[in-house]
Amino acid sequence: MSEVLNWFTVALAPAYAAYTLAALGNAVIERSGVLNIAIDGFFVLSSAFAYTYAILLSQVLGSGPLATYIAIALTALTTAVFYSLFTTLNTALPVSQGAVGLSFMFAGYGLGAVVGNIGRLVFSIQRVRVDYLGVTGWGSAVAYVLLVAVAILTHLLLYRLRLGVLIRAVGEDPRVVSQVGVNVTHTRFLAGLIGGLAVGLGGALFTLWRIGGWSQGQGLNHGWLAYAISIAGWRYPLLVALVSVFFSSLYVLLPHIQRLGLPIEISMAVPYIVSVAVMVLVSLAPRRGSILAEPRALGREYFREERA
Amino acid sequence: MSFLETLYQTLISYTGLLEPLIFLAMIGTAISIGFYGSFWNVGAEGQYVMGMVGALFLTLFSPLVPLFEGGGTVLTALLKVLVVLFGGLLGVLWSLVPGVLKAYVRVTEVPVLLLMNYVAYSISDYLTAGPWKGRYTYGYIRTDLIPEAARLTIIPGLEMLRYEVVVALVLVIAFAYVLLERTEVGLRIKFLGTNPVALRASGYDERVVTLTTAALSGFVVGVAGALRLLGYDYRLPYNIGDGKTGFYGYTAILVAWLSFRDVRYILPSALIVAVLTSFGYRMQMLLKDLLPPGISAYAISLILMGVTLVVYSIFRVLRDYSMRLVVKP
């Protein structure tokens, strides 16, 4: 029994928190019709920001949990700003969402390397001590409760609040919605802001709780793992939080799978193969017209005027 | 050495530039074909590695080389062509997976392509450390060298060039130009990228065109990978994802983008990117005492890529639209 408890509170909790938050953020952004292929870049960027903020803040505030928590909040805000820029450009510019997404993804990778290295430079010169979140036991239980609360809040936002209804409407048919007088760009800006907060929180917890440190390229591909979770939950917040238990466990366990007889090189690739398989399976499931259906405007360019 | 001197050194050391220039141009052409048809081929890295794997398999582990060896110039040339085409086929295999998923299951191709890069690295590493581990490697984990007969011919005086690679580059660019500007298949690919509704309306199957785009793009990348193995590396190293591919599959995305999706501008933009990356490495060596240890050429080129893509997108808008600033009273 204690082993099971230990598994849930020590091993799974940090991974579950990071992936679930990023997946929930992705759900909000993609429900607004913006194809979120920049998620991996943003995840890398936010996990770098979290590290650098934590180091800079522990310079000012001294090491302690306060600096860490402020760093997490700042990371979420920074990521939200970048994300709102992303969704706004995606809507305002009549260029393909693939192009904008790729550019933000690569810029995120590169900026992440720069931002994280600034933190590391300060760290090696000033020799500060950084407090990483060592939350276990009851703290983890509280974290689970908070995560479920975030999932419920996201659900309420998308399906009960006026803003959420607008976000989903814009994701279905932006042109019709704009004819009713709704500002599509503004709505997607807000969706990017809210979703970005969640993705940023996920990236921050990935660095400050799950890994407890930073190295160049950290978070690479983990954004895609979160993306796969989001799709496996049909971009429906409550389902996302639920299936994330399974997938986070899988991602935590898979690297140890060589005990089952798989060569180490192949077992490194298993999470990626699983992610692709999930995206395929979910796309195969018929769900047209249901609440779980893919937003119809997802990935489509939005032209305010008709092209000649 | 000053900044200008470094730039000058980068420019005149043309032999060092030629090799990245050629591979960037080849893979950039392949990615351009994909971009035309809205197939965002960010999986060139994986297709490139699979091309290398295919070439190594055919030269080391199939009876092909003994069969053709010592058969004169024509037969060795045929051998190389076969090996390169096989590498291309493995590239197709690797690009068709996301292609089929995009066309028939409506799965966004970008994550699938990126994740498959890592699967390709894993497969290559598994083979290198396992079944294909070499006997004559001085304790290193890597495969044996491919036989002399299959290696490409060095151009005397230009150590970084191979006759076959130059010919292949010319063929690839000519192929892409003719395909996109002169054939109906190319026209359909362009239609798919600009106006899929019209493509469907004129009676073509969007899914088949998507598959064609993916296959053509992957084929050219696979060919580049095979040429790389036959002409330069001669073996597969372990940990191939650790920069041993030169990350050409990623940097070439920048080439495709800089060329404004026009095959005629591939070479100049490949030159720009080749200069930028080698300049980045030189600057890194030059400034290693000034820059933080991790602000690497890798980070700089990634940022460059992102910024270039954003600027490109904005320029395209400015080109396609005329804008007026209207101040409402």
Q: Are A270 and A254 in contact (CB under 8 A)?
A: yes
Task: Please indicate, yes or no, if residue A123 is contained in any of the structural domains.
Answer: yes
Do the chains contact at B299 and A114, CB–CB below 8 Å? yes
Which tokens hold the place of B134?
């070499």
Query: Exposed, middle or buried, A245 (CB in 10 Å: 0-12/13-18/19+)?
Result: middle
- Predicted confidence band of residue B283 (pLDDT cuts 50, 70, 90): low
pLDDT of residue A308: 40
CA distance A119 to A71: 12
Task: Please indicate, yes or no, if residue A298 is contained in any of the structural domains.
Answer: no
In chain B, % of residues over pLDDT 90:
48
User: Token match 């990017």: residue?
Assistant: A192
Instruction: Put residue A300 in one of left, alpha, beta given phi > 0 → left and psi -120 to 50 → alpha.
Output: beta
Is residue B90 predicted with pLDDT exceeding 70? Answer: yes
- Collapse the DSSP code of B240 into the 3-class scheme (helix H, G, I; strand E, B; otherwise coil) and give the result: coil
Is residue B262 predicted with pLDDT exceeding 90? Answer: no
Lowest mean pLDDT among A93-107, A159-173, B104-118, B120-134: A93-107
Is residue B312 predicted with pLDDT exceeding 90? Answer: no
In chain A, % of residues over pLDDT 70:
95
Do the chains contact at B111 and A106, CB–CB below 8 Å? no
Interface of B with A in 279-298 (CB under 8 A): 292-296, 298
User: Token match 């920074």: residue?
Assistant: A78
Is residue A110 predicted with pLDDT exceeding 90? Answer: no
CA distance A268 to A247: 16
The count of other CB atoms within 10 Å of the CB of residue A139 is 12
Query: Exposed, middle or buried, B175 (CB in 10 Å: 0-12/13-18/19+)?
Result: middle
- Mutate which: A106, A254, A272, vs B, most B CBs within 10 A: A106
Lowest mean pLDDT among A65-79, A242-256, B34-48, B221-235: A242-256
Lowest mean pLDDT among A7-21, A274-288, B127-141, B174-188: A274-288
How many contacts, defined by CB atoms under 8 Å, are there between A and B?
A: 151
User: Token match 């660095």: residue?
Assistant: A207
Interface of B with A in 241-260 (CB under 8 A): 250, 253
Is B198 within 8 Å of chain A by CB? no
Higher-pLDDT residue of B250, B316: B250
Q: Are A273 and B119 in contact (CB under 8 A)?
A: yes
Q: What is the CATH number of the domain that holds A280?
A: 1.10.3470
Task: Please indicate, yes or no, if residue A306 is contained in any of the structural domains.
Answer: no
pLDDT digits (tens, 9 = 90+) for A186-234: 999 999 999 999 999 999 999 999 998 898 889 988 998 899 899 888 8
Which tokens hold the place of B135?
């006997």
pLDDT of residue B70: 74
Task: Please indicate, yes or no, if residue A292 is contained in any of the structural domains.
Answer: no
Enclosing domain of residue A217: 2-284
DSSP per-residue string spanning chain A: -HHHHHIIIIIIHHHHHHHHHHHHHHHHHHHTT---TTHHHHHHHHHHHHHHHHHHHHHHH-SSHHHHHHHHHHHHHHHHHHHHHHHHHHHHS-S-HHHHHHHHHHHHHHHHHHHHHHHHHHHHHH----------THHHHHHHHHHHHHHHHHHHHHHTSHHHHHHHHHHH-HHHHHHTT--HHHHHHHHHHHHHHHHHHHHHHIIIIIISS--TTTTTTHHHHHHHHHHHTTT-HHHHHHHHHHHHHHHHHGGGGGGGT--HHHHHHHHHHHHHHHHHHHHHS--TTSTTSPPTTTT----SS---
CA distance A53 to A70: 8
Q: Are A95 and A35 in contact (CB under 8 A)?
A: no
pLDDT of residue A307: 45
pLDDT of residue A274: 87
CA distance B287 to A44: 26
Strand partners, A244: none
pLDDT digits (tens, 9 = 90+) for A31-68: 999 999 899 999 999 999 999 999 999 888 887 888 99
Do the chains contact at A110 and B111, CB–CB below 8 Å? no
Is B303 within 8 Å of chain A by CB? yes
Higher-pLDDT residue of A273, B254: A273
Domain boundaries in chain B? Answer: 18-248
Please list every residue in chain A whose beta carbon sits closer than 8 Å to the beta carbon of residue B101: 276, 279-280, 283
- Predicted confidence band of residue A118 (pLDDT cuts 50, 70, 90): confident
Do the chains contact at A110 and B300, CB–CB below 8 Å? yes
The number of distinct structural domains making up chain A is 1
Do the chains contact at A107 and B305, CB–CB below 8 Å? yes
Do the chains contact at B122 and A113, CB–CB below 8 Å? no
- Nearest by Cα to B217 from B80, B53, B93, B61: B93
pLDDT of residue B83: 96
Report, in angstroms and rounded to the nearest whole number, the Rg of chain A calculated over CA atoms: 19
* Cβ neighbours for A188, distance < 8 A, ≥ 6 positions apart: A32, A33, A34, A87, A88, A90, A91, A167, A170
Identify which of A40, A111, A228 has the shortest CB distance to residue B303: A111
Do the chains contact at A102 and B314, CB–CB below 8 Å? no
